Amino acid sequence: RLHHVIGHRPKAVMEQIVKTKGGSSVELKAVKYFYCEDCDAKFKKARTHPVAPPSMYCFNYAVILDVLDAKEYDKERYSFLSVVCDGIVFHQLGLVVVGGGQLASRKCLTKFMTIWVRWAGFPVVLACDRGLHNRGEFAKGLNANGVYIRVAGVEAAEMIGRGERHGGIFKKNLS
C-alpha cells in the first residue's frame, strides 16, 4: 500500500521511509523483496549501447585529449598528454611531467600548444574528461581561440573512448 501512496517510488525511497518511521526488520526485508508489475512494465526499458554520432571525418575538426600516467620499470611516474584526432585517428603524445602530483593546467596548455597547435592549428571541438588539468588556464586559453570544449560526463567515458583506447595501447607497449 505504501508504494501506491507515494506514487510508485523506487525501493530505496520506500526503504528510507520505513527506516525513518522505525519499522521492524521484517518490514525492511519485505521492502527489499517488494515487486510491482506496473513499475516493471512502465520503467523497464531495454538499455541501448551508448554510441555517439560519427564526427566529421576531417583532420583537426574534433580532437580528444587525455592525460595518462605510466610507470616504467624504475617505478618512476610519467604523465603524458595524449591527443587523438577523431576524424582520421592520428595520435600524438607529449611528456608533460616526470614524477607524481597534480598536473597544472598551464603545463597542459603549453604542451598542447607544442605538440598539436604549433603545426596543426586549433581544433574546432576538443573533447576531454573532467580532470583539473582541463580547467583553468587550459580552458581559458582554448576558449579565447574559439575552441568549443566538450567535457565528458562522469559516467560517460565512451565520449572520449577512442582517446582512452589509444592511451591504453601506449601504456601497454611502454610496460
pLDDT digits (tens, 9 = 90+) for 128-162: 998 888 889 999 999 999 999 999 887 777 788 88
Distance, in Å, from the CA atom of 43 to the CA atom of 9, rounded to the nearest integer, reads 11
- Segment 95-103 long-range contacts (CB within 8 Å, at least 24 positions apart): 96/67, 102/132, 102/133, 103/67, 103/79, 103/131, 103/132, 103/133
pLDDT of residue 11: 79
Whether the predicted pLDDT of 85 surpasses 80: yes
Write down how long the chain is.
175
pLDDT of residue 164: 87
Range with the lowest mean pLDDT among 16-25, 32-41, 74-83, 165-174? Answer: 32-41
- What rounded mean pLDDT belongs to the chain? 85
Per-residue DSSP letters for 48-68?
PPP-PPPPPSSTTSEEEEEEE
Contact (CB, 8 A) for 98 and 78: yes
Higher pLDDT, 20 or 116: 116
Query: pLDDT value at position 47?
Result: 59
Instruction: With a cut of 80, say whether residue 1 has pLDDT above it.
Output: no
Q: Is the pLDDT of residue 62 over 80?
A: yes
DSSP E strand boundaries for the chain? 62-71, 77-85, 91-98, 125-128, 148-151
- pLDDT at site 60: 93
pLDDT value of residue 44 = 62
**139 contacts 112 by C-beta, under 8 angstroms:** no
**Which stretch of 56-60, 64-68, 69-73, 121-125 has the lowest confidence by average pLDDT?**
69-73
Q: What is the pLDDT of residue 90?
A: 94
pLDDT at position 113, please? 96
